[in-house]
Each structure stands twice: as C-alpha cells, then as structure tokens.
Structure 1
Amino acid sequence: MYRVLKKDALMVSFYGWNRADRFIAAWKNAGFSVVGHLVFAKTYTSKSAYVGYTHECAYVLAKGRPPLPETPLRDVMDWRYTGNKHHPTEKPVSSLQPLIESFTRPGGIVLDPFAGSGSTCVAALQAGRRYIGIELLEQYHRAGVQRLAAVKRSMCLPAANGDWLPEAA
C-alpha cells in the first residue's frame, strides 16, 4: 500500500485488536506514520469471550505529511449493522463514507485491496470519488459488481463502459 499511495496521503486500515502489535510494526516498517485511531461503536455484540465485543477499530496512517481535514472526524463513530447480507465481515457504507469524504478530495481515487462485497467502492461512488476494489473470491467480487450496478442505477450514472444502465436488470 505504501508504494502505490500518493505522497502526503492517508490510508485507513481496519485491524484485529489481538494483532495490533503486528499491524503497527508492519505499517511502521513499510514507512507509514500512525496519525489516528478510530473506534466504531456497535449496538450489538459480534463476539463474546472474556468480554463482549461491541466495537470495530481502524488506524489512520499517513504517508508523508497530508493536509489536515477541514473538520476532523470524531475518534468514536457509529456502526450501523447491515445484516452482513453481502459478506461475513461487511462494513457499513454509512461508516466508510465519512472517512472517504474527510480524507480524500472529490474526484480522487479510493483503493480497497480487500474489497469484499464492495462497501468501500459504494461509499466512494456516493462521495463522488473514483475507486479501485480488489477481491480474490469470485462470489464476493460478483456481489460487489452487482451492488455497484444497483447504486449507479439509483444515482442515474453511466456504467464504467460509458453506457447507461437499464432501469431494471
């Protein structure tokens, strides 16, 4: 990610709390600076062990010295359960879109190298950004392509090939 990210830009990485030390070491080794930590509060428990897990976490990482956002995000944000209809670890578009709007410029490119069913790509599209999503598993790639097509139809946007999408598919 460090190699392909533009200079003076930000990256957001979700992580498993029990491996935070490994993630931080890898990010710093790659050249990133840790510049923020986000907690997404859930209204439900996703797993229980010694404690009930009712949050997701992400780090904000910088390459170079990105400009500060005009309105900094709160470090604790809401996480609305989507039912994980498209992917087992689906991220809510409503949680991703503020990150994209705050940390990127209109027309910029958002890259998600683990796109799953395309939540980041949908959030980028709705925020007026271009996107690149990479997903290895065909079933989730297909789900993401279908989601994006439906969002483009609802927004009345042309398809990637320049043709208008039909109203009903």
Structure 2
Amino acid sequence: MANCQSENPNLGIGYYYYTQRVYKRRFLQLVSTRDSTTTTQKTTKTHQVGISGINPETLQQLLVQLQQFEEQHLYLQPNINVKDLAKSFGSNSSYLSKVVNTYKQKSMSQYINDLRIDYAITTLQTDATFRKYTIKAIAKEIGFNTPEAFAKKFYKRTGIYPSYFVKNLDQS
C-alpha cells in the first residue's frame, strides 16, 4: 500500500498557492468595493410587501430608529437580541423582525453581524491602531463573544479570514 503523500507531494503545495491567489483576489475586490458601497441599503417604498399589518406611523418610526441604531453604532454592543432591541424601540420583536426582513432583506442576526463585520472592515482600513489588535480583541470590540464566531462571520461575509485581511492591509 503506497503512502498518498509520497505519490504527489506537490498537490498540497499547489492547493496552498491556489487558495492564496483566491484570497488575494477576494481581498483586492473587498478593498476596492468598500470605498464605493455601504452595507446599509436605503429603504424604498417598493419593499412594503409583507408588512401590511404594521401601522404606517409605526413602520416609519421603526425605520428611523433602525437608521439611528446604525449611525450610532449600537450594533457593537454584545448580546443584542431582537426582543431587547424592539423593547428599546418601543415596539415588539415581531414588527422589528418583519421590518428588518423586508427592508434589509436579512434576518435580524444576519443584519447585526453584517453591520459589525462592515464596521470592522472600515475601521481596519482607516485605523492603524485597530489593525494592531489581536483577532480576539477586535471580535470583542465589535460585539462578538468569541474570536471564532467573528472569524466565521467575517469569512462568510467576505470570503477571507480576518487575519488574512489585516496582514494584507499592513502590506499594502
């Protein structure tokens, strides 16, 4: 029985270089598109399907409060949940979830995680001191409980790991 490693030792090396090229392409794309886009989509009147049960005044109030939530970076607080956020908005979790699902086209947890990741990306690009933080410290700073959760969500959002992103920002 032959050892798989001795049959083709270059296979692992080739895969490594391939993934590095993929990550580099994703990094360059992320850095170039970040300058021209933001995560928060402006709400439009065409997205009102599915929230007909919400009073228009309540809907408008929730949209304004979500905008303030984003502008004041309140999503950076750890352990945010839809129930507590809705309560702070003077609404209920059902209405808030419907508004986020309809206007942001995401679940509440995905919405908050995307805001956090986008904040991390922007801050890492603009703040050299923030880039010196460990991944654990960055995760804690932006509201994640563990560095693993942060890395997983960062990768899901960007296709690269936060450590790779930071390393390449330092090199560019």
Range class of TM-score, shorter chain? under 0.3
Greater RCO (CA < 8 Å, at least 6 residues apart): 2
- Structure having the higher helix fraction is 2
